[in-house]
Amino acid sequence: GESVGLHLPTLSVQEGDNSIINCAYSNSASDYFIWYKQESGKGPQFIIDIRSNMDKRQGQRVTVLLNKTVKHLSLQIAATQPGDSAVYFCAEITGNNNAGNMLTFGGGTRLMVKP
Amino acid sequence: NAGVMQNPRHLVRRRGQEARLRCSPMKGHSHVYWYRQLPEEGLKFMVYLQKENIIDESGMPKERFSAEFPKEGPSILRIQQVVRGDSAAYFCASSPWGFGEQFFGPGTRLTVL
């Protein structure tokens, strides 16, 4: 299940189960969102993105859902594997057209996959 | 095609010294972003540069921090007179255009003693 502790919230799932990681974003004007995976000691790695004119996008084993009404993103990982264990961040584009696209990151969720 | 390169990977400095962090973007990418990450937290935007220009430095402290992306060579994030609070992981990202996906480097972990 999902829990919130002193540090990153952690989601523990059994290998083979589906995982759902949630994210609330802050800026209703944001029009582009990315999910990143970060393994210990490494930089964020792109997983999947979605634009605000879509509410769902699918990749290989991953699906991102966007609900603009409540400013909520979710990342679904099918058949979770031990290699999926990492911290997952959602990020939104908040820059204006003149300043380019700085990413604003959410707080992150640690996914732990039990064999 | 090499990814974003950062060096050094680990940097230890004493209080008051200077730290220089280097970032070589992916080939063909002219947009560079620097982010800072504290343990157990998300990345925080610092500065966005395009070749020879600072486009947005709204996330960078006004004092002691500076960034450049010269016509030739890597982007440099410079921290003068470091303090313990500067200890963090610093990530560089690049993109081929000023919107969309950003590709991240492995980061430089700065420790200030």
Q: Measured between beta carbons, which residues in chain B are less than 8 angstroms from residue A86?
A: none
The count of CB pairs under 8 A between chains A and B is 69
pLDDT above 90 (res A101): no
A82 touches chain B (CB under 8 A): no
Averaged pLDDT, A99-115:
85
pLDDT above 60 (res B16): yes
Option in B42, B95, B103 nearest A105 (CB): B42
The answer to whether B100 contacts A101, with C-beta atoms less than 8 Å apart, is: yes
The answer to whether A7 contacts B40, with C-beta atoms less than 8 Å apart, is: yes
Nearest to B102 by CA among B112, B92, B90, B113: B92
Alpha-carbon Rg for chain B, nearest whole angstrom, is: 13
B101 touches chain A (CB under 8 A): yes
What is the 3-state composition of chain A as percent helix, strand, coil, each rounded to the nearest 5? Answer: 5, 50, 45
pLDDT above 60 (res A2): no
Q: How confident is the model at residue A6 (pLDDT cuts 50, 70, 90)?
A: very low
The DSSP code for A55 is S
pLDDT in tens, A74-94: 999 999 999 999 999 999 986
Q: Measured between beta carbons, which residues in chain B are less than 8 angstroms from residue A57?
A: none
Higher pLDDT: B1 or B87? It is B87
Option in A8, A44, A102 nearest B48 (CB): A102
Q: How confident is the model at residue A96 (pLDDT cuts 50, 70, 90)?
A: low
Contact B89, B10 (CB under 8 A): no
B70 touches chain A (CB under 8 A): no
B35 touches chain A (CB under 8 A): yes
Nearest to B35 by CA among B90, B112, B113, B94: B90
The answer to whether A108 contacts B41, with C-beta atoms less than 8 Å apart, is: yes
